[in-house]
Structure 1
Amino acid sequence: MDGSIEQVLLAIGSGSLIGFTLGLIGGGGSILATPLLIYVVGVKDVHTAIGTGALAVSVNAYLNLVGHAVRGHVWWRCALIFTIAGSLGAYFGSSLGKVVEGQDLLFMFGLLMMFVSFVMSKTRSQIGVTPQSLTVRTHGKTSLVALLTGVCSGFFGIGGGFLIVPGLLFSTGMPLINAVGSSLLAVGTFGLTTAANYALSGLVDWQVAGYFIAGGVGGGTLGTITATRLSTHRNTLSQIFRWIIFSVSLYVLWRSYAALPWTR
């Protein structure tokens, strides 16, 4: 980071946007962190952008977890099982992501964004949930789903809430509000695991991360307030944001495809 006022403001503004979207519509917002860090803030190295974004997403997830925990939305036993198993996957995924060439990883990230925009086309009420008792079998299924989710989260350096919430619903049958609240422990820990792994390789810009996190705190507060006032339009807002993610995915694919070695 060159430390210019312009770059500082862009980092704070981008962090605010991520925090605002997370507070407004929940999961999915953090996937914009890497494109914003690269194309707006100006982080040159793809891996540094991923490591920095993972740290910022982690801190914001932990802050949001507090609010859900106070309201009793967190099923701690399931959340801990999912988090511990998924963290192992996140470490493996992030280790794999570090050795993949930056532009190849960015191209795959664009494909992931396109997939996320498709997943978000399904409203949360369309997710089928069958209540299940918390048995050894349930815990085993939760651990397996968590491990696979963690690998994806670590590989791309994302919070993975769009995968974690359905994963918790599928493996435990818990109510949606509890899945959302419980997922934040996993999102925060997966992000922290990924960020720590990248930091060991010097792939975290701590200054940018600080500005990004500061912006995210303010943006998240504003997003939560706005979500409360626009609660009846929540699904409409999610669909609008889905198209934003889809549009950004096309831009990421275009920019990264042109930089791939075999396209030159």
Structure 2
Amino acid sequence: MHALSLPHDLLTVLCGSLVGFSLALIGGGGSILAVPLLLYVVGVHDPHRAIGTGAWAVAANALANLIPHARTGNVRWRAAFMFATAGVLGAFLGSTLGKLVDGRRLLLLFALLMLTIAALMLRGRRGHDGTGYPRRHMYPRLGIAGLGAGALAGFFGIGGGFLIVPGLVFASGMAMLDAVGTSLFCVGAFGFTAAINYAVSGLVTWSIAWEFVAGGIVGGWLGMLAAQKLSRKRGALTVLFAAVIVAVALFMLAKSLPT
């Protein structure tokens, strides 16, 4: 790619800030936002390259944003390791398959999956207060949910927060804020697995990826502060999480469908 101009650099950093803010606020939305931002704002024209670049940037941002959540006690480490261990295997298998699928069709399937997840989260939002944690047979449930979420995250080339957060909530019964913090560890693990697979195929634009990371660190600190405030309102984080998913899914459907 040609050398980026300064205004374009700043635009890329700002897009990264939005991604980091979303990750820290709702534990997801990183690649949900990163892929369309890379395609339609930054100007990465190849969907597979946008997915690979976004996966790398989101994974790095997730691990950076994990730090403030861990300091405030919002990370359930045992659940995180169980979910991530199973998910990494799924992410590798899913990302290998995803590279073989037409890019436009991949984005269309991605958007439809997002709408399904949003509906499931809204349906059970009143139970996301952590009173059911830990559930019986929590660790086998986390392993199954992690494998499935990792496979889907790898297939779509995403960090998978929008899959991981509901997976953690439904499998363990943890509170929404804890699921947001815990998911960042899993997002990093899934994202790097998929990103390495794409990078081996030359489908990562490194200059853009690191600009996204730089912006995302700043946005992440702001997002964590907002998450702490919203968590005091019952169901608010769940509703916001679903609203972001629906809005971006509809946008991607509009862009993906043939004109």
The TM-score with structure 2 as length reference comes to 0.86
The 2-side partners of 1:14 and 1:203 are apart by 20
Number of the residue aligned with 1:203: 203
Answering whether residue 215 of structure 2 is matched by residue 215 of structure 1, we say: yes
**Are residues 67 and 124 of structure 1, via their aligned partners in 2, closer, same or farther at CA, if it must alter by over 3 Å?**
farther
State the 1:220 CA deviation: 1.6
* Residue ranges of structure 1 left out of the alignment (5+ in a row): 260-264
Number of the residue aligned with 1:180: 180
**Are residues 69 and 121 of structure 1, via their aligned partners in 2, closer, same or farther at CA, if it must alter by over 3 Å?**
same
Number of the residue aligned with 2:62: 61
Number of the residue aligned with 1:100: 101
Write the mapping of 1:4-23 to structure 2, written as runs, cut at 5 A.
4-23=5-24
Answering whether residue 82 of structure 2 is matched by residue 81 of structure 1, we say: yes
Q: Report the structure number with the largest CA radius of gyration.
A: 1
Number of the residue aligned with 2:119: 118
The 1-side partners of 2:190 and 2:29 are apart by 15
Secondary structure of 1:144's counterpart equals helix
The one-letter code of the counterpart of 1:248 is V
State the 1:182 CA deviation: 2.2
Answering whether residue 168 of structure 2 is matched by residue 168 of structure 1, we say: yes
State the 1:63 CA deviation: 1.3
Residues 15 and 214 of structure 1 are in contact (CA less than 8 Å); yes or no, is this contact kept in structure 2? Answer: yes
The one-letter code of the counterpart of 2:251 is Y
State the 1:24 CA deviation: 3.5
The 2-side partners of 1:209 and 1:148 are apart by 26
Bigger drift between 116-125 and 187-196 goes to 116-125
Bigger drift between 107-116 and 92-101 goes to 107-116
The one-letter code of the counterpart of 2:86 is A
The one-letter code of the counterpart of 1:27 is G
The one-letter code of the counterpart of 1:114 is L
Number of the residue aligned with 2:149: 149
State the 1:231 CA deviation: 6.1
Residues 79 and 183 of structure 1 are in contact (CA less than 8 Å); yes or no, is this contact kept in structure 2? Answer: yes
**Are residues 185 and 191 of structure 1, via their aligned partners in 2, closer, same or farther at CA, if it must alter by over 3 Å?**
same
The one-letter code of the counterpart of 1:55 is W
The 1-side partners of 2:7 and 2:119 are apart by 34
**Are residues 5 and 131 of structure 1, via their aligned partners in 2, closer, same or farther at CA, if it must alter by over 3 Å?**
closer
Deviation per CA, 1:95-140: give whole Å up to 9, x if none: 1111101111122122233334434545743348644478xx5433
The one-letter code of the counterpart of 1:108 is L
The one-letter code of the counterpart of 1:160 is G
The one-letter code of the counterpart of 1:86 is G
**Are residues 199 and 253 of structure 1, via their aligned partners in 2, closer, same or farther at CA, if it must alter by over 3 Å?**
same
Number of the residue aligned with 1:256: 256
> Please, what is the CA RMSD of the aligned residues?
2.8
The 2-side partners of 1:73 and 1:242 are apart by 20
Number of the residue aligned with 1:262: none
Q: Determine what percentage of the aligned residue pairs are the same residue.
A: 50
The 2-side partners of 1:48 and 1:253 are apart by 19
Residues 128 and 235 of structure 2 are in contact (CA less than 8 Å); yes or no, is this contact kept in structure 1? Answer: no
The 1-side partners of 2:178 and 2:237 are apart by 21
Secondary structure of 1:164's counterpart equals helix
The TM-score with structure 1 as length reference comes to 0.84
The 1-side partners of 2:88 and 2:112 are apart by 23
The one-letter code of the counterpart of 2:217 is V
* Residue ranges of structure 2 left out of the alignment (5+ in a row): none
State the 1:224 CA deviation: 3.0
